[in-house]
Amino acid sequence: GQQVMQIPQYQHVQEGEDFTTYCNSSTTLSNIQWYKQRPGGHPVFLIQLVKSGEVKKQKRLTFQFGEAKKNSSLHITATQTTDVGTYFCAGRYNDMRFGAGTRLTVKP
Amino acid sequence: DAGITQSPRHKVTETGTPVTLRCHQTENHRYMYWYRQDPGHGLRLIHYSYGVKDTDKGEVSDGYSVSRSKTEDFLLTLESATSSQTSVYFCAISESRILKDNSPLHFGNGTRLTVT
């Protein structure tokens, strides 16, 4: 079936290092959304990408949607301890499918 | 955060017993969803509702039923709980139909269910 594959599953970085998580689909997506879930919390919507090749920024976070609308990435520049959590992508086919998430831990 | 309340927050139950989880919203959003979250699987849609008494199945609906008698309340029932239904359950709402439109999901705080 339609799936969104997300890698890596875990990422541990030193504070100040960069972080990237990737989502890939075997078929074209209508759009992709990104969510962040803090430890013990609930997913919170970050952003949505709709257009081919779209790039959006939120402070230190950069989101990209591939030209073929089959992949997306979230890049965090100079991580901080407040970035800790699990980042999920959710891709839209006929319905919305979530990736398995990338759990980010940051060492001060 | 959107006004979404899930109850109970934690539940331990025995295999074979019925369990009902409640989601209450104060946003007057038309669309409500139940997801389960398991390690390695992300969030998977169980059932959703697009209005009072209007519901449909999601990706992992077997063993679950739902009801929506009022706009603000969406109930998830496990008729006979099994250990495979041990999970964290999230309710979500959206202004428009997430499955077809671009609205983001707003999640409740979740219910941690353990079936022994």
pLDDT digits (tens, 9 = 90+) for A47-90: 999 999 999 999 999 999 999 999 999 999 999 999 999 999 99
Q: How confident is the model at residue B100 (pLDDT cuts 50, 70, 90)?
A: low
Dihedral sign computed on CA atoms, order B64, A88, A51, B108? positive
Residue B91 near chain A (CB below 8 Å): no
Mean of pLDDT values over B9-16: 98
What's the first-to-final CA gap in chain B, in angstroms? 33
Task: Using alpha carbons, list the distances in angstroms from residue A29 to A85, B5, B58, B88, B92.
Answer: 25, 31, 18, 27, 22
Of the two residues B102 and A3, the one the predictor is more confident about is: A3
pLDDT at res. A96? 82
Q: What is the CA radius of gyration of chain A?
A: 13
pLDDT at res. B1? 62
Q: How confident is the model at residue A92 (pLDDT cuts 50, 70, 90)?
A: confident
Count CA atoms within 13 Å of residue B35 on its CB side: 22
| C-beta of residue B61 within 8 angstroms of C-beta of residue B47 | yes
State the best of B6, B31, B43 to mutate against chain A, taking most chain A CBs within 10 Å.
Answer: B43
- Percent of chain B's residues with pLDDT above 90: 83
Query: Please, which residues bridge with residue A49 across strands?
Result: A32
Residue A42 near chain B (CB below 8 Å): yes
Residue with tokens 């990737």: A22
| pLDDT over 80 (residue A94) | no
| pLDDT over 90 (residue B96) | no
Please name the residues in contact with A55: beta carbons below 8 A apart, sequence gap of 6 or more: A62, A63, A64, A65
Which residue type is seen at B47? H
- Cα separation, B95 vs B101, in Å, equals 10
pLDDT at res. B41? 85
Q: Chain A residues with CB inside 8 Å of B44's CB?
A: 98
Reported as a single tens digit per residue, the pLDDT across B59-92 is: 999 999 999 999 999 999 999 999 999 999 999 9
| pLDDT over 60 (residue B99) | no
Residue with tokens 């989101």: A63
- Cα separation, B8 vs B15, in Å, equals 18
Reported as a single tens digit per residue, the pLDDT across A16-44 is: 999 999 999 989 998 999 999 999 999 99
Which range among A32-36, B40-44, B51-55 shows the weakest confidence by mean pLDDT?
A: B40-44
Q: How confident is the model at residue B101 (pLDDT cuts 50, 70, 90)?
A: low
pLDDT at res. A51? 94
Q: What is the CA radius of gyration of chain B?
A: 13
Residue B42 near chain A (CB below 8 Å): yes
Query: Please, which residues bridge with residue A64 across strands?
Result: A55, A73
